[in-house]
Amino acid sequence: RCLRLGRSIISPMADSVRKVGSGEKLYDEVTLRFQSPQTLQEFEEYFRRLGIDAIFDRVGYSGGELMVNLQKLNQSTTDKTEAMWEGNLW
């Protein structure tokens, strides 16, 4: 049980380090539902005003709602992981 728990923690972290080592950026990916395209536009504008680097990818409609995949860049996590990859302690 402890081994499974340890692997569940370490495996995603190791994957992230490998991605950064190969030049990729780390991001969170979620699927959002919006009642209207106008609400989506307001949400995108809100992210822009906050300076959040995100990619919005429209998927389609489901149950009358607009489905959108969101990829939000984790710049600080990428930077910290990159520093560790280069041998810095932090």
pLDDT at residue 31, as a whole number: 95
pLDDT at residue 83, as a whole number: 85
- Tell me the residue range of the domain where 70 lies: 2-85
Beta bridge partners of 82: none
Strands 54-62 vs 27-34: parallel, antiparallel or unpaired: unpaired
The contacts of residue 59 (CB under 8 Å, 6+ apart) are 31, 67, 68, 69
Residue 90 lies in a domain: no
CATH of the domain at 45: 3.30.70.2160
Give mean pLDDT in consecutive 10-residue pieces for the chain, a chain of 90 residues.
Answer: 92 88 88 95 95 90 93 84 80
Number of independent structural domains in the chain: 1
